[in-house]
Amino acid sequence: MTRRLALRWWPSPLALALATTSALALTLAVLDRRPELIAFTAPLIGALAGGWGWGRPPTHVELHVEQPTQRCFEQDRVPIDVRATAVGGTARFAVRALAPAGLEAAPGGVRAGSWGRFAVRVRITARAGGGLLVATAVSDAVEVRVYPRPAPLRARIRPG
C-alpha cells in the first residue's frame, strides 16, 4: 500500500542559528564600524548560501507499507516495514513509529501490551538543503490486531 503525503518545509534550528548569528554580527559591524566582524560572518553566510545548492527539496513523500494489517498475540513484537521515497526532489528521511496506548515502541516495530485493535502512526522527518531545511509528516501506517493469549491447558485428556 502506498500513501502520498505533502511536505511543508521550514528552516532547521541550524539555519536559524546561522542566520541569527550572522545578522547580529553584521549589525554590530555596521553600528560599531568594525570591519573584522564582517570577516567573521562570511563563513556563516557562505554556509547558508551553500545549503541552497543541494537541489530542490521534495514536495511530497510516498509512504510504502508492506502489510497494512498485522495480527499477533499479547506481548508479541510486531515488525513494521515502512519505506519513504521523495517525490520531486532529494532529501534524507527518518521514519519512526508512534505507538498508541496499549502498544509500546520496539526496535523495528511495536510490542503489544494488551489486546485490542490499534492504528499505528508513523512520523516521517525529512532533511534537505544540507540540513538547513526540515519537514515532517504524520500518517496512519499499520493496523495491528492483538488477540489475548489462550489460557494454558491444565488438565490432561486421558484416552479412554
Q: What is the pLDDT of residue 160?
A: 65
Residues in the chain: 160
Cβ-Cβ contacts under 8 Å for 151 (sequence gap 6 or more): none
In 7-159, which ranges are E strands?
9-11, 60-65, 69-73, 77-79, 82-87, 92-98, 103-106, 109-112, 116-128, 133-147
User: Which phi and psi (to 5°) does residue 106 adopt?
Assistant: -135, 160
Q: In what order do the strands lie in the sheet with 103-106?
A: 77-79, 109-112, 103-106
Q: How far apart are CA 37 and CA 42, in angstroms?
A: 9
pLDDT in tens, the chain (160 residues): 788 988 889 999 999 999 999 999 999 999 998 888 888 888 888 888 887 777 788 888 988 888 777 888 888 888 888 888 888 888 889 888 888 888 888 887 888 888 899 998 889 999 988 889 999 999 888 888 999 988 877 777 777 6
Instruction: Say if pTM beats, i.e. exceeds, 0.85.
Output: no
Q: How far apart are CA 29 and CA 91, in angstroms?
A: 36
Packing angle, helices 36-50 and 13-32, rounded to 10: 150
